[in-house]
């Protein structure tokens, strides 16, 4: 290297960063000895911010644009001011480029189930997962609170902490919402907004913001989901008996046994008809008796209704009396063959001996002799 090239390197300096990765959040501009030369050009592209650290302290933050580092108001000292040190300044400065674009499609999810009280199912365990995006909103705070002196800080180094914050706030929001499990799918957008609002202040302490948060799914344990599927299936089936008949007929037609069974039944019926025709013969003899189906069992007859009787005597009626009482009245002579009796359903008063049910009561004693 000639003296001209050496002096050119001392007088011309370009500070910039082109990100060729997808997860780098902060990159430190590497310069030997961390020397920033007078008149250097600082290029900050869209989606970036440049943070100057001078003598270990945060000096300034540059937004997108082109800057000429040649003013004495900046806390930057160059080698041109210290020829006696051989182009090496004792004052060191560092430049950190911060990626201020969104980091999208980041995953979050509940590692353990969340226990909630559902108004319909009672205590239930829920799991949830989704995606979110994060963005550096305050480069200076983010550098001081999170990055420190890390020369290359990636999203993986902070994503675990953000996921923990999201899951914690999601659990609290879900438990306080009181939304039934069956209605949560219709309210995922509102739940996402509530969770994002609750963690905004906490992420702001890190210099971060959460532009988007999505809840992709809220699920029950597999055993509960299986029972719910069965319950839904019963509602779709409707009449269970008709569904079972349809299933049986469909199964017979599907495996081929149904067609064979139908053909066997038709063949048996035709065979029986042919046998009856052969038994009848050409002279029209009577066909062979067919085996009749067993007669259904007859219901037992109802028990007989016991009548009660009224007795007419001297223009007055007495009773009602049971048949047993009437038998005792015959024995003591208060009821004779000529006594008039009546019971419900009888047409008028009839002599006791003319009533079949009571006539047997008088066979205990012999009737009066003829001509008496």
DSSP 256-290: SHHHHHHHHHHHHHHHHHHHHHHHHTTTTPPPPPP
Give the pLDDT band (50/70/90) at residue 154.
very high
Cα 64 to Cα 53, 122, 126, 201, distances in angstroms? 18, 55, 45, 26
In the chain, % of residues over pLDDT 70: 69
The answer to whether 100 and 29 are in contact (CB under 8 A) is: no
Q: Which of 129-133, 177-181, 360-364 has the highest mean pLDDT?
A: 129-133
The pLDDT of residue 258: 54
How far apart, in whole angstroms, are the C-alpha atoms of residue 104 and residue 19? Answer: 16
Question: Residue 127, by phi and psi: left (phi above 0), alpha (psi -120 to 50) or beta?
Answer: beta
The answer to whether 6 and 76 are in contact (CB under 8 A) is: no
pLDDT tens profile 260-300: 555 555 555 555 665 565 555 554 455 555 555 566 666 66
pLDDT tens profile 187-206: 889 889 989 998 999 999 99
pLDDT tens profile 166-175: 999 998 888 8
Domains located in the chain, CATH noted: 3-99 (no CATH), 103-225 (3.30.479.30), 309-363 (3.30.1490)
């Amino acid at each position: 290297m000639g003296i001209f090239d050496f002096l050119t390197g001392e007088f011309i300096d370009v500070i910039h960063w082109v990100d060729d990765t997808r997860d780098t959040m902060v990159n430190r501009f590497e310069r030997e000895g961390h020397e920033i030369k007078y008149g250097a050009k600082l290029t900050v592209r869209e989606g970036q911010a440049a943070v100057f650290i001078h003598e270990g302290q945060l000096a300034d933050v540059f937004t997108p644009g082109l800057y000429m580092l040649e003013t004495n108001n900046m806390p930057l000292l160059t080698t041109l001011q210290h020829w006696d040190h051989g182009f090496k300044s004792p004052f060191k400065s560092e430049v950190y480029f911060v990626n201020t674009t969104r980091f999208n499609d980041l995953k979050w999810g509940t590692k353990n189930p969340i226990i909630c009280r559902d108004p319909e199912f009672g205590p239930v365990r829920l799991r949830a997962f989704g995606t979110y995006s994060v963005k550096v909103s305050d480069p200076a705070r983010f550098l001081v609170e999170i990055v420190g002196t890390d020369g290359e800080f990636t999203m993986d180094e902070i994503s675990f902490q953000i996921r923990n914050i999201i899951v914690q706030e999601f659990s609290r929001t879900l438990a306080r919402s009181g939304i039934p499990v069956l209605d949560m799918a219709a309210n995922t957008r509102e739940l996402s907004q509530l969770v994002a609002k609750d963690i905004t202040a906490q992420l702001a302490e890190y210099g971060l913001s959460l532009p988007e948060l999505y809840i992709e799914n809220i699920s029950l344990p597999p055993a509960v989901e299986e029972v719910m599927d069965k319950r839904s299936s019963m509602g779709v089936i409707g009449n269970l008996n008709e569904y079972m008949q349809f299933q049986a007929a469909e199964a017979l037609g599907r495996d081929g046994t149904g067609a064979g069974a139908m053909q066997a039944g038709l063949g048996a019926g035709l065979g029986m008809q042919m046998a009856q025709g052969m038994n009848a013969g050409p002279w029209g003899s009577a066909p062979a008796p067919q085996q009749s189906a067993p007669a259904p069992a007859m219901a037992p007859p109802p028990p007989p209704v016991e009548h009660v009787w009224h007795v007419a005597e001297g223009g007055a009626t007495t009773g009602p009396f049971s048949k047993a009482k009437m038998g005792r009245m015959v024995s003591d002579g208060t009821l004779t063959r000529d006594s008039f009796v009546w019971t419900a359903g009888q047409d008028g008063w009839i002599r006791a001996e003319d009533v079949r049910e009571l006539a047997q009561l008088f066979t205990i004693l012999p009737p009066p002799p003829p001509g008496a």
